[in-house]
Structure 1
């Protein structure tokens, strides 16, 4: 049992390291805990009721897979917490999927099936590292990408309005990073948002920045 728990921790942690490296909301600790917890529940299903079943074998029928099925369905609430919907943009689906797979890996290790769990872990890590750099496009060449840096007043910022304004000009959001900033120019706390954007029309970016400047909580807009 100890070997299985440690193995589940290692495999889940390896996937979590990749998520942590790319600054996703659910990182190393989350994936490790999900894997170990799933493994523990599987061990409970196999061995936790063994004595009771032996003592009452004439009246008890027990299916160990029932606890596993509750893990698979119940892990959805944790995955849903990593999904962020902003306008027409959805973020965190890959992290939610990795948490779901980690739960399956933990259950598999708990059942003593080491080889499938290790192979699955390798496949997941390779897919997250390699496929994340691959962009599948079927229409022409790739659109130019720019970094849109918006410095905002942290207390009054409305991220959903920023996202709606950006997407209203047919500009695609590819990533969002936020960071708290301290500046001698402003007394109030500031937040710097870095948007990775992709667009086709040259005027769309200019029109979008003009509309963004109308928000009172925006202090500066920079495009790189």
Structure 2
């Protein structure tokens, strides 16, 4: 008698939705800690939505199929395949292309995997969903160091600069860095107040290969229009 309530469809659906939300949320928290565009809420919603679609495929059409057994042949995997193919548009929205630099590919991949985790949870494959979540979190948090091991030695630095709002275009600075094969990891911008000249302050996190000297980076940015102040520090 104690286990009968576990066989109730509503209980099963609730547990699977909550399980999907928990696992997808864990992946999202890792992305949130690294300040990615798609963070906790995005991953959680993708996981829950995927689980809901899988539940719809498994439970949503049962009454109609029972009433019309001779008319209906149903394949639950069809709805799942649409989730996997359709989630690509959301992943594409996290990818940022700036000239030769591409950011967001890892987050796009994590969103795609979270959709699969939601489908697995929705279909009752708890072990597969849990194991996949563990693999994803380990790869996101720790395997980035493996990537750096295979790359050429590089320096992580932060460029602080102030530029005239009217004269300077950020695209000039980005282009100058990309010509030197300097990878841009993050850009922050804020307005400098209390000055007669309208200035913008930029904080640009970069990854510079050791064969590219810091002096070359400094000279390249100084040649851009409207630069008022510039300094480069270690990250």
TM-score, with structure 2 as normaliser: 0.84
Offset at residue 158 of structure 1 (A): 4.1
Measured after TM superposition, the shift of residue 175 of structure 1 is: 1.2
Q: Indicate which of 206, 209, 219 corresponds to 1:210.
A: 219
Q: Which residue of 1 aligns with 2:20?
A: 8
Moved more, 142-151 or 184-193: 184-193
Identify unmatched segments of 5+ residues in structure 1: none
Tell me the secondary structure at the aligned position of residue 136 of structure 1: helix
Q: Distance in 2 between matches of 1:154 and 1:57?
A: 70
Higher Cα Rg, which structure: 2
| Bigger shift: residues 192-201 or 32-41 | 192-201
Q: Does 1:67 align with 2:87?
A: no
Deviations 1:21-69 (A, max 9, x none): 0011100000000000000000011111111111111011111100000
Give the corresponding residue for 2:132: 120
Render the CA deviation track for 1:141-168: whole Å, top value 9, x for unaligned. x233322223345677644432221021
Name structure 2 gaps, 5 residues minimum: 1-12
Aligned partners of 2:65 and 2:72 also within 8 Å: yes
Equivalents in 1 of 2:223, 2:98: separation in Å? 20
What secondary structure is seen at the aligned counterpart in 1 of 2:149? coil
User: CA deviation digits over 1:165-196, x for unaligned, max 9?
Assistant: 102123x2151131424432366473423222
Give the Cα separation in 2 of the matches to 1:154 and 1:71.
44
Match of 2:116 in 1: 104
Note if 1:176 corresponds to 2:186: yes
1:187/1:158 CA distance change after superposition, 3 Å: closer
> Per the alignment, do residues 52 and 24 of structure 1 end up closer, same or farther by CA in structure 2, a change over 3 Å counting?
same
Give 2:202's match in structure 1, choosing from 169, 188, 192. Answer: 192
Matched residues in 2 for 1:41 and 1:179: separation? 40
- Relative distance call for 1:56 and 1:21 in structure 2 (3 A) is same
Structure 2 residue aligned with 1:162: 173
Matched residues in 2 for 1:206 and 1:214: separation?
A: 12
CA contact (8 A) 2:97 2:103 kept: yes
Match of 1:143 among 154, 169, 172: 154
Among 46, 58, 64, the residue aligned to 1:46? 58
CA distance in 2, matches of 1:156, 1:25: 29
- Cα RMSD (Å) of the superposition? 2.2
Number of residue pairs matched by the alignment: 220
Residue in 1 aligned with 2:30?
A: 18
TM-score between both structures, scaled by the size of structure 1: 0.88
* Structure-2 separation of matches of 1:106 and 1:153: 48
